[in-house]
Amino acid sequence: MEYLRIVSKRMIPKISLFVIFLIVIPSLGGCSSASSIPIANPTDSPFESPRVIGEIRSQDITESSGLVSSRCQRGVLWTHNDSGDDAFIFAIDRSGSHLGTWKVTGAQNIDWEDIATRRVGDKCFLFIGDIGDNKMKRPVHRIYRVDEPTVSPDGRTSSRSKPLVTATSVWLEFSYPDENQDAETLMVHPATGDLYVLTKRVSGPAGLYLIKPQFEGSAGQIAQRIGELSVPAVPNGFLTGGDISSDGRRMLICDYTQAYEFELSAEADDWTTALRRTPTIIALGKRRFGETITYDFDSSTILAASEGPRAPIIEVRRK
């Protein structure tokens, strides 16, 4: 019962937004892409239909708010809880089995909303976005960077009460150049290391912000607004997660119902141009609070999950 009270308290702001989301959709009628959850991708889609391949089984993972596939350890996924938890990251496999719990030292989970990764040579880094702000009252946000822990059979015995410890985190602090924003999407470019934060808006397009990766522990940076993103749904900026493919050519975004893939053209244009084009819509099947999405190890497959205990892990393969 105590657990239910805690979860209910944490979920109130998101449930309220989701109720608004459901109310707005039918009232605007005419946009069928978001008024119902698609159960399959069209036959002419470059993606197969979604299928459930597992569920998150760890009792410590109650609100998976970010998900990323390791680019160094095939089959390993990293996730974390939303606000209200301590600074833990969790490793799971594609079936949802627990592979280990790590405590991120030197970090605080105010409102962790997404996790990203970058491979440099033979080494991988994890980037954790403390970027959530439902009430839009936070003037400063943090992005943590940690060396990706090595998953071993011994990690399966770790838990919240007895976690393994990561290397000490480093971080950057940033503010928005215009106004306080709520965001749930953090992405990192695999080649440049540039960080992209995508805001979450009930009304209007989401804002896309660029942050240069200067991890100095306390240096405040001003994010650069480089554009906006509008998906073919209602609301059109209510975005909850994203990832950039390992080759840097594709960007994957999701909301509560489905996903959208944008691709750079053969002329190698930039993201501000690519995001103006109509994306490929990707059905993800049934999710509760769909906040997490990632490309798999080689970007040939999409994996998605949702908040809540025993959340399903959904796979969508590229044809």
Alpha carbon 193 to its chain centroid, in Å, reads: 17
pLDDT at 98: 96
Residue 273: its H or E element: helix 271-274
pLDDT tens-digit profile, the chain (319 residues): 333 333 444 454 554 555 544 444 433 333 333 333 445 888 899 999 999 999 999 999 999 999 999 999 999 999 999 988 999 999 999 999 999 999 999 999 999 999 999 999 999 999 999 999 999 999 999 999 999 999 999 999 999 999 999 988 999 999 999 999 999 999 999 999 999 999 999 999 999 999 998 887 666 899 999 999 999 999 999 999 999 999 999 999 999 999 999 999 887 678 888 999 999 999 999 887 789 999 999 899 999 998 888 899 999 999 9
Copy the structure tokens of residue 189: 């470019």
187, 227 in Cβ contact below 8 A? no
Residue 206: its H or E element: strand 206-211
- Measured CA to CA, the distance from residue 31 to residue 29 in angstroms comes to 6
- Measured CA to CA, the distance from residue 238 to residue 145 in angstroms comes to 26
Q: What domains are there in the chain, each with its CATH number?
A: 2-317 (2.120.10)
Q: In the beta sheet, which residues pair with residue 147? A: 125
pLDDT at 217: 63
Copy the structure tokens of residue 51: 């299928």
Three-state DSSP class for residue 222:
strand
Copy the structure tokens of residue 37: 């959850």
Q: ∠ at Cα 311 (308, 316), nearest 5°?
A: 135
pLDDT at 30: 33
- Measured CA to CA, the distance from residue 225 to residue 207 in angstroms comes to 7
Q: In the beta sheet, which residues pair with residue 258? A: 283
Sheet holding 206-211, edge to edge: 183-188, 195-199, 206-211, 224-229
Alpha helices in 30-122 (DSSP H): 32-35
Kindly report the pTM of this predicted structure.
0.88
Three-state DSSP class for residue 27:
helix
286, 37 in Cβ contact below 8 A? yes
Three-state DSSP class for residue 153:
helix
pLDDT at 89: 98
Residue 110 identity (one-letter amino acid) = I
Three-state DSSP class for residue 62:
coil
65, 184 in Cβ contact below 8 A? yes
Copy the structure tokens of residue 237: 């900026």
pLDDT at 5: 39
| Strand 98-103, strand 164-165: pairing | parallel
Residues composing the chain: 319
Q: In the beta sheet, which residues pair with residue 130? A: 142
pLDDT at 27: 35
